[in-house]
Structure formats: C-alpha cells, structure tokens
C-alpha cells in the first residue's frame, strides 16, 4: 500500500496554498508528496524531509 500525505501544498500557477492529498515518493533520498491542484489541475510537490 502506498503512503499518502494530506495537507497544504503551494500552487505556483494559482499562487495560493491549497488543501489536497498526494502520494508520497522518495526522490534523491528525500520524501516528497506529489498531488494535483483541485482548482487548476497543476501538479503539486511538497518536500517532507529525509527518507
């Protein structure tokens, strides 16, 4: 089962913080949450910390 993150992401297209959920992946030794903006559909990333 994949780990999920639910919280705030910053959308660079809307220039606002959005509440959404995303899947947690490990990239370059760091945990990142990847989701989609519920308003414009842009991909969102949030760095969570070291894996």
What pLDDT score does 19 carry? 96
pTM for the structure as a whole? 0.81
pLDDT at position 46 over 70 = yes
pLDDT digits (tens, 9 = 90+) for 11-43: 999 999 999 999 999 999 999 999 999 999 999
**Residue 28 carries which DSSP code?**
T
When pLDDT is averaged across residues 1-17 and rounded to a whole number, the result is 93
Q: How many domains does one find in the chain? A: 1
Domain CATH number, residue 28 = 2.20.25
What pLDDT score does 25 carry? 95
What pLDDT score does 44 carry? 96
Distance between CA 41 and CA 39 in Å, rounded? Answer: 6
Domain holding 44, by residue range, is: 4-50
| Closest alpha carbon to 30 in 45, 48, 46 | 48
């Amino acid at each position: 089962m994949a780990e999920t993150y639910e919280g705030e992401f910053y959308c660079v297209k809307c220039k606002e913080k959005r509440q959404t959920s995303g899947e947690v992946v490990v990239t370059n030794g760091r945990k990142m949450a990847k989701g989609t903006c519920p308003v414009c559909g842009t991909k969102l990333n949030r760095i969570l910390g070291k894996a």
